[in-house]
């Protein structure tokens, strides 16, 4: 993956691609979010969700703050290490009692008397790639407000694996920071400006998740179409049953509407700066993620009903359906819970309405 610069391509378009030989022969200056969409969807198509997350997820969500807000010296050191696959990075925001509510984070960073270092104390939970990450992009509470700091694994950093119903290869971790000393130069963005750093980063994270969700739904539909034409019930193919065709119709509707909305937003991203995306697309992307994950869970449930016992068997013809049905609830939580994102989208729409907009 590093040899074909896949890690760099997963960060989206930008100056970091200059001079690189990209997969598919795409010129760095022509690479856009539609190229990234295709890459993400091809990775989602094979169905090894945990494996893919273990290799790429940490960088996809943890490296953009370094890319967009890190100092030239930091980027010169960290980017080549992560792009080459020699080191891993994780985004460490969520805590035991603060997830979507990033303003409620308790992990604290205090400056030393000489003002040259941060001393970080606190914990983080459910951190993807955290068990083996070399760097952590950490959201901290400071005297100036929420601040994002890059922490390198070292003294005072302890990680423990969390066993979930997902995959151990994703490296989900509980992280403890105990008197961790970090140079102030590792601050990402302005002190106290961490909320903007985090929220702008959420846009890309949520969009990536929608890319994967849309493709996975299409794969599920394809699996169901194949199975219902093959499986015989009551002497006829399963797809001769009206109730099955009705399920398939709704599954197709959800998958294709998700993909269409995704491509609409991707086009907007291609025509906006990173700052504009953060200002204008947080709501639409939040609503898209809410819709795509709700749709995916319903489609997964319908697919299990269509496959019957095979849909809950880890091997054989229904293995993709079983795996997806078991892991799809994670999508509804990671990057922001569905109800939080739906409210975010409506609130942004209300803020942008003209004050004199009446019937």
Rounded CA separation 268/283 (Å): 13
What is the second-level CATH architecture of the domain 195-351?
Up-down Bundle (1.20)
DSSP 195: H
CATH number of 90-191: 2.40.110.10
59 has which bridge partners?
Answer: none
Q: What is the DSSP string of 304-325?
A: HHHHGGGGG-SSGGGHHHHHHH
Is residue 135 classed exposed, middle or buried when 0-12, 13-18 and 19+ CB atoms within 10 A define those classes?
buried
Total-model pTM: 0.90
**b vs e for 174-199, b when ≥16 Cβ sit within 10 Å of the residue's Cβ?**
bbbbeebebeeebbbbebebbbbbbe
Please provide the size of the chain in residues. Answer: 359
Per-domain residue ranges of the chain = 6-87, 90-191, 195-351
Each residue's pLDDT expressed in tens, for the chain with a length of 359 residues: 667 888 899 999 999 999 999 988 999 999 999 999 999 999 998 877 777 788 888 999 999 999 999 999 999 999 999 999 899 999 999 999 887 778 889 999 999 999 999 999 999 999 999 999 999 999 999 999 999 999 999 999 999 999 987 777 889 999 999 999 999 999 999 999 998 898 888 999 999 999 999 999 999 999 999 999 999 988 999 999 999 999 999 999 999 999 999 999 999 999 999 889 988 999 999 999 999 999 999 999 999 999 999 999 999 999 999 999 999 999 999 888 999 999 999 999 999 899 898 88
């Amino acid at each position: 993956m590093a040899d074909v610069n896949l890690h760099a391509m997963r960060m989206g378009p930008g100056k970091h691609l200059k001079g690189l030989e990209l997969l598919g022969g795409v010129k760095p200056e022509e690479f856009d979010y539609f190229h990234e969409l295709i890459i993400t969807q091809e990775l989602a198509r094979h169905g090894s969700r945990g494996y893919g997350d273990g290799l790429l997820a940490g960088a996809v969500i943890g490296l953009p703050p370094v890319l967009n807000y890190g100092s030239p010296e930091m980027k010169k050191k960290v980017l080549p290490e992560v792009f080459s696959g020699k080191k891993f990075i994780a985004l460490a925001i969520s805590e035991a009692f603060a997830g979507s509510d990033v303003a409620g984070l308790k992990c604290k960073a205090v400056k030393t008397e000489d003002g040259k270092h941060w001393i970080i104390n606190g914990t983080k939970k459910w951190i993807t790639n955290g068990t083996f990450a070399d760097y952590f992009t950490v959201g901290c509470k400071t005297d100036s407000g929420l601040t994002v700091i890059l922490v390198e694994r070292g003294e005072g950093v302890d990680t423990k694996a969390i066993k979930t119903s997902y995959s151990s290869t994703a490296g989900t971790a509980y992280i403890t920071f105990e008197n961790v000393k970090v140079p102030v130069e590792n601050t990402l963005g302005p002190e106290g400006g961490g909320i903007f750093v985090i929220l702008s980063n959420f846009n890309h994270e949520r969009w990536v998740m929608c890319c994967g969700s849309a493709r996975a739904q299409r794969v599920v539909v394809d699996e169901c179409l194949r199975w219902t034409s093959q499986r015989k019930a009551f002497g006829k193919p399963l797809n001769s049953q009206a109730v099955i065709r009705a399920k398939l119709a709704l599954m197709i509707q959800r998958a294709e509407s998700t993909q269409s909305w995704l491509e609409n937003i991707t086009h907007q991203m291609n025509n906006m700066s990173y700052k504009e995306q953060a200002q204008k697309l947080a709501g639409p992307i939040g609503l898209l993620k809410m819709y795509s994950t709700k749709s995916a869970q319903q489609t997964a449930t319908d697919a299990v009903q269509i496959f019957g016992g095979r849909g809950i068997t880890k091997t054989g013809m229904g293995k993709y359906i079983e795996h997806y049905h078991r892991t799809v609830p994670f999508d509804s939580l990671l990057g922001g819970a569905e109800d939080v994102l739906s409210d975010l989208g409506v609130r942004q729409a209300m803020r942008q309405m003209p004050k004199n907009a009446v019937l």
